[in-house]
Structure 1
Amino acid sequence: MLAKANRITSADDYRVIVRRGAKVAGAHTVSYVRSRESGADARFGFIVSKKVGNAVRRNLVRRRLKAVCHDALVGGVRGVDVVVRALPGAADAEFGTLRIEVLDALARRARPSASDHAPLIDSRVG
């Protein structure tokens, strides 16, 4: 489970990240990545609609996405807000496929602005 500091809980935050974040589309997910102030904890949010499947399927997909994001945090991801939208095909996707898509979105995030010189992954960790 992600710690409270690593979760996006506000509808306004979701809206800002989806509208202004860099969009990275995959076969099973669409990720929106937005830079934060350097050194800030990474935060993650998930959108899994009823098009993905019934409640059991949606929760399975959400748990898999949370596990991927937890692994990214352990790997040292910092200074970003990420919203991952699961597409209908995510219900049939394997964990490894979802992992690759989300980590690829983090790697291909928007180029940092001049005021954001912090690396995406802290090289001191791992």
Structure 2
Amino acid sequence: MLPSDNRLRRRADFTQAVRRGRRAGRPTLVGYLQRRDLDSEPLAGFIVARTVGNAVVRNRVRRRLRHLVAMHIDRLPRGSLLVVRANPGAATAGHDELAADLESALERLLRRQSKGRA
């Protein structure tokens, strides 16, 4: 489970990450990564729209994504904001497919972040 200290809660933070962050799209999800001050823990948030399914399906997808991101939260730079938006395909995707898409998106986002700083 994603620790409480690493959860993104403020609407302004979601907006900042989506509008100003780097984007990496995959078939089941889209990841956005925004760097901020280096003094805080990395934060992760999730967007699961009604196009994914009904409330039960959306909550299941959100729980699965939270579990997967918790395994990668230590890879994120300090002070960063990560927003993961689920695509409709996430509702029917298996665990391995979601995990592979998240891993691939994070690789692209982190590779871009390191290139942008150098």
Q: TM-score, normalised by structure 2?
A: 0.86
**Greater CA drift, 37-46 or 53-62:** 37-46
CA RMSD of aligned residues (A): 1.8
1:9 counterpart residue number: 9
Alpha-carbon distance between aligned partners in 2 of 1:24 and 1:76, rounded to the nearest angstrom: 16
2:94 counterpart of 1:102:
no
Alpha-carbon distance between aligned partners in 2 of 1:67 and 1:41, rounded to the nearest angstrom: 18
Alpha-carbon distance between aligned partners in 2 of 1:89 and 1:30, rounded to the nearest angstrom: 11
1:111 counterpart residue number: 113
Q: Which runs of 5+ in 2 are unaligned?
A: none
Q: TM-score, normalised by structure 1?
A: 0.81
Q: Report how many residues are paired.
A: 114
1:78 counterpart residue number: 77
1:36 counterpart residue number: 36
Q: Aligned to 1:24, what secondary structure does the other structure show?
A: strand
Alpha-carbon distance between aligned partners in 2 of 1:39 and 1:10, rounded to the nearest angstrom: 18
Task: Assess if the C-alpha contact under 8 Å between 1:8 and 1:44 holds in 2.
Answer: yes
Q: Which runs of 5+ in 1 are unaligned?
A: 118-126
What is the deviation of 1:77? 3.3
Alpha-carbon distance between aligned partners in 2 of 1:50 and 1:41, rounded to the nearest angstrom: 30
Identical counterparts, % of pairs? 36
Task: Assess if the C-alpha contact under 8 Å between 2:31 and 2:82 holds in 1.
Answer: yes
- Matched to 1:45, the amino acid is G
Alpha-carbon distance between aligned partners in 2 of 1:97 and 1:81, rounded to the nearest angstrom: 23
Alpha-carbon distance between aligned partners in 2 of 1:76 and 1:18, rounded to the nearest angstrom: 20
Call closer, same or farther: CA 1:62–1:72 in 2, change over 3 Å: same
Moved over 6 A (4+): none
Call closer, same or farther: CA 1:39–1:98 in 2, change over 3 Å: farther
- The C-alpha deviation readout for 1:86-117, integer Å capped at 9, x for no partner, is 01111001111111111222211133444xx8
Task: Assess if the C-alpha contact under 8 Å between 2:24 and 2:31 holds in 1.
Answer: yes
Query: Which protein is richer in helix relative to its size?
Result: 2
